[in-house]
């Protein structure tokens, strides 16, 4: 349908060429003629060169936001989580391994005992851990031998006996770690079990309860999960630009990280440029996201250094005070548009904005459609 002669409002070119910096709350879209069904709308994008996403959602590398559980959930929904670096390098690498070892969006914390141990208190059993898992040496990294159910332990007359004397073998209690939620649910129905352990090479990966399977199945289908070539969830991790971060990076790569984010409020620095070059030279198949940036010149320097994606925004987060304290930053919407025009892979701000996520996605999709 041709445009109406009575159409008013501003085109994106006219709006953004007035010399003003805009945030999302400064603009609103006018209704337009619709010539496509809603099911033809796709939000698939890329975080970086090698990391595709089904939905444009990335959880921030903040210690109050993204650890293993959040990263697993984000990947299961088609987004990705960036695990924070406000911890030791070994702990951050452990969280990456925890994400990579899962095939279902569950992260449990089971209790492990050895056959020679005794259970003298019911403190080890609760609603989230109704079973104690028995392995050869009592650690998660040894062979699973059996389990003890809290209800069975409660009926014991002598609580001093060793676990070996009353533990139950693992028949029908375990499934391969490669099973998806559908197959796990089918196994539970067939074997009439409320809980199963996912096992890889005789070692426990997770414990999955039937109620968790039903709860997750009830979630809306947002997109294909973000998985790599081997079927494992994709996950990112944050690093800094100090010399010690090179050791942190080595551990993350060994753990299987898919992308690293250089966590800095101002990305256009010699330190970040040198780190980008180091990452690309040392780990050529690893994607690196640089930033933060809010000007084209900032972006250009990082692109020339070899960055695979850009983190956009300065002072735009709901709890960020950079613009107020330092008087430095830019309206988020304006620079988002500049990057769309550059056709460069962009992470559309890993910071949480203050309006609802559906509103954010709607505005970004509409803006992208106008510019395409």
Choose the most confident range, by mean pLDDT, from 24-28, 118-122, 281-285, 363-367: 281-285
Give me the residue label for tokens 């294909």.
Answer: 224
The Cα–Cα gap between 175 and 133 comes to: 14
Tokens of 354: 């203050």
Instruction: Quote the tokens at residue 197.
Output: 């352990």
270-292: average pLDDT: 95
Q: What is the pLDDT of residue 351?
A: 35
Rounded CA gap, 279 and 272, in Å?
A: 10
Q: What's the rounded Cα separation, in Å, for the pair 354 and 348?
A: 14
pLDDT of residue 360 exceeding 80: no
Q: Which of 141, 212, 142, 131 is nearest to 173 (CA)?
A: 131
CB-CB contact of 25 with 332 (8 Å):
no
Residue 236 pLDDT: 97
Predicted pLDDT at 316: 62
Instruction: Kindly tell me if the per-residue pLDDT of 48 is higher than 70.
Output: yes
- How high does pLDDT run on average in the chain? 81
CA–CA distances in Å: residue 59 to residues 82, 160, 175:
6, 47, 30
Start-end of H helices in the chain: 12-15, 68-77, 89-100, 150-154, 181-191, 210-217, 244-255, 270-282, 296-305, 322-326, 332-342, 357-371
Task: Report the range of poorest mean pLDDT among 170-174, 208-212, 222-226, 315-319.
Answer: 315-319
Q: What is the pLDDT of residue 234?
A: 96
For residue 319, name the pLDDT band (cuts at 50, 70, 90). low
Candidate from 143-147, 230-234, 308-312, 361-365 with smallest mean pLDDT: 361-365
Q: What does the alpha-carbon distance between residue 135 and residue 117 come to, in Å, rounded to a whole number?
A: 11
Does the pLDDT at position 372 exceed 70? no
The predicted structure's pLDDT at residue 231: 81
Q: CA-to-CA distance for 245 and 238, rounded, in angstroms?
A: 10
What tokens appear for 226 in the block? 């973000």
Q: What is the pLDDT of residue 358?
A: 45
Q: How far apart are CA 330 and CA 22, in angstroms?
A: 8
- Residue 271's pLDDT is 96
Determine the longest span between alpha carbons in the chain, in angstroms.
88
CB 60 within 8 A of CB 316: no
Predicted confidence band at 102 (pLDDT cuts at 50, 70, 90)? confident
- Quick check: helix, strand or coil at residue 122? helix
**Is it the case that residue 99 has pLDDT exceeding 80?**
yes
pLDDT digits (tens, 9 = 90+) for 152-171: 888 888 888 999 889 998 88
**Number of CB atoms found within 10 A of residue 216's CB:** 16
pLDDT at 347 over 50: no
Entry pTM = 0.74
Q: Under a CB-based contact definition with an 8 Å cutoff, are residues 132 and 119 in contact?
A: yes
Sequence-ordered list of residues with C-beta below 8 angstroms from that of 250, at least 6 positions apart, any chain: none
* Integer-rounded Cα radius of gyration of the chain: 25
pLDDT for 235: 97
Mean predicted confidence (pLDDT) in 305-311 = 91
Quick one: average pLDDT of 308-322?
Answer: 73
Can you give the pLDDT at residue 30?
Answer: 80
The two three-digit tokens of residue 281, written as one number: 């030279």
SS3 278: helix
Nearest to 340 by CA among 299, 289, 290: 299
The whole-angstrom separation of Cα 175 and Cα 149 is 18
Distance (Å, whole) CA 268 – CA 290: 9
Structural domains of the chain, ranges and CATH numbers in brackets: 12-101+232-371 (3.20.20.70), 111-217 (3.10.580.10)
Using an 8 Å Cβ cutoff, are 239 and 260 in contact? yes
pLDDT above 90 (res 241): yes
Q: pLDDT tens digit string along 51-63?
A: 999 988 999 999 9
Question: pLDDT for 13-37, tens place per residue?
Answer: 777 777 777 777 777 778 878 899 9
Higher pLDDT, 363 or 84: 84
């Amino acid at each position: 349908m041709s445009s109406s002669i009575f159409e008013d409002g501003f085109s994106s070119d006219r709006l953004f060429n007035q010399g003003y910096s805009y945030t999302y709350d400064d603009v609103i879209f006018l209704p337009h003629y619709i010539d496509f069904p809603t099911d033809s709308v796709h939000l698939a994008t890329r975080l970086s060169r090698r990391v595709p996403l089904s939905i444009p959602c990335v959880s921030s590398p903040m210690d109050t936001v993204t650890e293993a559980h959040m990263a697993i959930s984000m990947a299961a929904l088609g987004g990705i989580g960036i695990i924070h670096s406000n911890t030791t390098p070994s702990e951050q690498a452990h969280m990456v391994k925890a994400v990579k070892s899962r095939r279902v969006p569950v992260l449990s914390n089971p209790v492990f005992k050895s056959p020679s141990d005794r259970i003298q208190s019911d403190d080890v059993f609760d609603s989230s851990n109704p079973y104690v898992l028995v392995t050869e040496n009592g650690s998660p990294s040894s062979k699973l031998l059996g389990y003890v159910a809290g209800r069975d332990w409660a009926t014991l007359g002598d609580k001093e006996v060793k676990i070996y004397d009353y533990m139950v073998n693992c028949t029908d209690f375990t499934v391969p770690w490669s099973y998806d939620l559908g197959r796990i649910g089918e196994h539970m129905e067939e074997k009439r079990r409320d809980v199963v352990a996912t096992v890889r090479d005789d070692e426990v990966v997770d414990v999955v309860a039937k109620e968790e399977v039903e709860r997750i199945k009830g979630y809306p289908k947002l997109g294909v999960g973000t998985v790599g070539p081997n079927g494992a969830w994709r996950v990112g991790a944050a690093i800094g630009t100090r010399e010690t971060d090179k050791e942190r990076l080595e551990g993350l790569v060994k753990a299987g990280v898919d992308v690293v984010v250089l966590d800095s409020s101002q990305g256009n620095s010699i330190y970040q440029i040198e780190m980008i070059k180091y990452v690309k030279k040392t780990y050529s198949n690893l994607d690196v996201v640089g930033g933060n940036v809010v000007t084209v010149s900032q972006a250009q320097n990082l692109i020339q250094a070899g960055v695979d994606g850009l983190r956009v925004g300065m002072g735009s987060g709901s709890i960020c005070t950079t613009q107020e304290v330092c008087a430095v930053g830019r309206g988020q919407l304006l620079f988002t548009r500049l990057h769309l025009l550059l056709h460069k892979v962009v992470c559309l701000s890993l910071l949480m904005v203050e309006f609802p996520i559906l509103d954010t996605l709607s505005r970004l999709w509409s803006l992208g459609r106008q510019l395409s």
